[in-house]
Copies of this chain bind each other. A is one copy, B any other.
């Protein structure tokens, strides 16, 4: 199977340098854009004491009642519809853990993110913030158990293969040990950390439910997922196999339920990985989970292309590859695959 993936990618790469994307600087022409929230449920909270609060300094006091009906577990979705549509289906971009749709919007060094690049390639593009991230809001401790987790500066640097693993971080930028040849814009690491948002460890079901609601509204569609979003994408595809026309899972962590993998037999899947994966225990473990899920899809007659960017000559990418210096090149690898699978002109 690895042979098949490489054969495809080398062939695709040979013809991939033709300009499939309009360069930044050209106008983006949209026949529509907007946002909506989807999913969610109303919960009742009762028995908590009310209190008087001053909502703005100098303003009047007013009652805050923690009881009553609350909307929770809704999801925010932003969409852009290019005039020159070339994608056969909408493209849904689902981000990873501790992040939001901003993952796809921009890069830490301020260039265009995959969102713009795929809009320029002609995709109707839907970027969401998973439940409890970003503009989706989050529920009170009265509704959700546990507390959110917060990532310090060191955590993604060492865990996302920007630095050389444990011990590579230092508060002094000059003393950090980045991966040799990294594509990550190291000088903009602060900006990457600004994109980070807290997340809960207890909300997976709510997240999947909202994604299901989105799929029921928008699809048939193509999923482009990253990291934690990859697991959600596979779990949703298992439940809506007729609605998902293709999946591009970028460094999925982890996969779906292996027993349900056969449900994806009619969905072409690309699993895309950056560099340094095999030498990092954490990512090697996720890749093994992904590979086993891929094997289970293939055993049912399905098709999975597992593509490691360094195997096709694209080196230096961390876990955040859509935000790195060569993000236009990695976007082109995905676009070529989608075209090959009949998803776009």
Contact = CB atoms under 8 A, between A and B. Distances in A.
Interface of A: 24, 27-37, 40, 42, 45, 53-60, 62, 64-71, 74, 76, 78, 83, 97, 100-102, 105-106, 110, 112-113, 116, 129, 134-135, 137-141, 147-150, 152-155, 159, 171, 190-191, 193-198, 201, 204, 228, 231, 253-254, 281-282, 285-286, 289
Contacts of A281: 60
Given A55-B201, A58-B289, A135-B197, A191 B102 contact: no
> Which of A36, A141, A150, A282 gathers the greatest number of chain B CB atoms within 10 Å?
A150
A320 to B, nearest CB: 15
A62 B282 contact: yes
19 contacts: A27-B30, A36-B110, A37-B194, A54-B201, A56-B204, A56-B228, A57-B231, A60-B281, A60-B282, A60-B286, A64-B155, A66-B150, A69-B153, A70-B150, A70-B152, A101-B135, A134-B134, A135-B195, A140-B150
Contacts of A60: 281-282, 285-286
A153 B289 contact: no
Query: From DSSP, what is the main secondary structure of chain A's interface residues?
Result: mixed
A173 to B, nearest CB: 11
Contact of A254 (B58, B70, B135): B58
User: What are the 5 A-B residue pairs with the smallest beta carbon separation, nearest first?
Assistant: A37-B194, A68-B152, A137-B197, A74-B194, A71-B193
Contact of A35 (B97, B106, B137, B197): B106
Contacts of A147: 141
The complex is assembled from copies of this chain, and their number is 2
A59 B253 contact: yes
A120 to B, nearest CB: 11
Contact of A59 (B78, B129, B155, B289): B289
Of A54, A78, A102, A137, the most chain B CB neighbours within 10 A belong to A137
Residue among A60, A190, A281 with the highest chain B CB neighbour number at 10 A: A60
Contacts of A204: 56-57
A36 B191 contact: yes
Name, among A66, A71, A97, the residue most crowded by chain B CB atoms within 10 Å (CB to CB): A71
A181 B246 CA distance: 48
A196 B55 CA distance: 15
Given A65-B155, A135-B134, A196-B137, A35 B102 contact: yes
Nearest to A285: B60
Contacts of A148: 140
Contacts of A56: 97, 204, 228, 231, 253-254
Nearest to A30: B28
Contacts of A137: 134, 194-198
Given A54-B201, A74-B194, A100-B135, 19 more contacts: A27-B83, A28-B29, A33-B116, A34-B116, A36-B106, A37-B194, A42-B153, A56-B204, A57-B204, A58-B254, A59-B254, A59-B289, A60-B285, A62-B159, A65-B152, A68-B153, A68-B154, A71-B190, A134-B134
Nearest to A38: B194
B149 A64 contact: yes
Given A37-B191, A57-B204, A154 B71 contact: no
Given A27-B29, A197-B138, A105 B35 contact: yes
